[in-house]
């Protein structure tokens, strides 16, 4: 259970998005206090993106909340990564990030979830699964034995990974896609929704279909 423990500190979400609304609901379901969101849109500050989720400040005002733990809630992994680097320029270190794990997720005791990641309801992780930093795992994803999800990856709702799958850094696996055991999804690659992946996907490619094949650019 390394890196899964969370403190009682309040949670501050970065980026006022649909994911932030989902993360806030999951955090509250887990008994966490949610301060609100930071966002780059000054027009949103002082307003709410959900009844109990105010936009309290701009992202560059993170220094005003030294006691809050952070989760970056941009939907795209590459954007999450840019925001993490930007927050580092404000002195935000890795220790400031927390995990949000919905109590409706079923994670084996040896599951590792690194800081900054969000695990939503219905997720199942079976044995020796590792979820890296700032990963988003949407509802009803199945992670089987020895899967490894690299930092900033996104697994959309209903994704199923066979055993010993590696999902690369900032890769995006679309809704209801499935990946055969032992394969790798390259860094920054995109897998279309409903795809069935039966061979390794190189980095920075877009694949879709049954079986999944690379799509030509444009």
pTM for this prediction:
0.94
pLDDT tens digit at each of 218 positions of the chain: 445 455 679 999 999 999 999 999 999 999 999 999 999 998 899 899 889 999 999 999 999 999 999 999 999 999 999 999 999 999 999 999 999 999 999 999 999 999 999 999 999 999 999 999 999 999 999 999 999 999 999 999 999 999 999 999 999 999 999 999 999 999 999 999 999 999 999 999 999 999 999 997 75
| Segment 23-64, tens digit of pLDDT | 999 999 999 999 999 999 988 998 998 899 999 999 999 999
Cα–Cα distance for residue pair 216/213, rounded to 1 Å: 10
What are the structure tokens assigned to 78, written together? 């590459």
Per residue in 79-105, is it b (16+ CB within 10 Å) or e — as a string? bbbebbebbeeeebeeebbbbbbbeeb
Cα–Cα distance for residue pair 111/100, rounded to 1 Å: 14
Cα–Cα distance for residue pair 207/128, rounded to 1 Å: 27
What are the structure tokens assigned to 114, written together? 């690194």
Domain 11-96, CATH: 3.40.50.20
Closest C-alpha to 76, from 147, 150, 19, 22: 19
What residues contact residue 102 under an 8 Å CB cut-off, 6+ apart? 26, 29, 30, 119, 120, 121, 122, 123
Active-site annotation, residues: 145
Closest C-alpha to 119, from 106, 205, 127: 106
Give me the residue label for tokens 């849109």.
41
Domain ranges of the chain: 11-96
């Amino acid at each position: 259970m390394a890196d899964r423990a969370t403190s009682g500190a309040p949670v501050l979400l970065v980026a006022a998005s649909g994911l932030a609304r989902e993360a806030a609901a999951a955090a509250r379901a887990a008994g966490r206090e949610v301060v609100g969101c930071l966002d780059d849109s000054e027009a949103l500050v002082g307003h709410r993106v959900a009844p109990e989720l105010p936009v309290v400040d701009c992202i560059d005002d993170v220094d005003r909340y030294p006691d809050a733990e952070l989760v970056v809630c941009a939907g795209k992994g590459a954007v999450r990564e840019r925001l993490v680097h930007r927050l580092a320029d404000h002195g935000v270190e890795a220790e400031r990030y927390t995990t949000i794990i919905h109590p409706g997720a079923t994670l084996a005791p040896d599951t590792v979830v690194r800081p900054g990641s969000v695990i939503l309801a219905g997720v199942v992780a079976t044995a020796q699964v590792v979820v890296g930093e700032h990963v988003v795992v949407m509802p009803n994803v199945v992670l089987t034995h020895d899967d490894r999800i690299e930092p900033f990856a996104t697994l959309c709702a209903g994704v199923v990974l066979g055993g010993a799958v590696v999902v690369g850094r900032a890769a995006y696996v679309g809704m209801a896609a499935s990946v055969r055991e032992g394969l790798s999804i390259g860094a920054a690659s995109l897998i279309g929704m409903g795809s069935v992946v039966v061979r390794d996907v190189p980095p920075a490619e877009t694949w879709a279909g049954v079986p999944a094949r690379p799509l030509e650019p444009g």
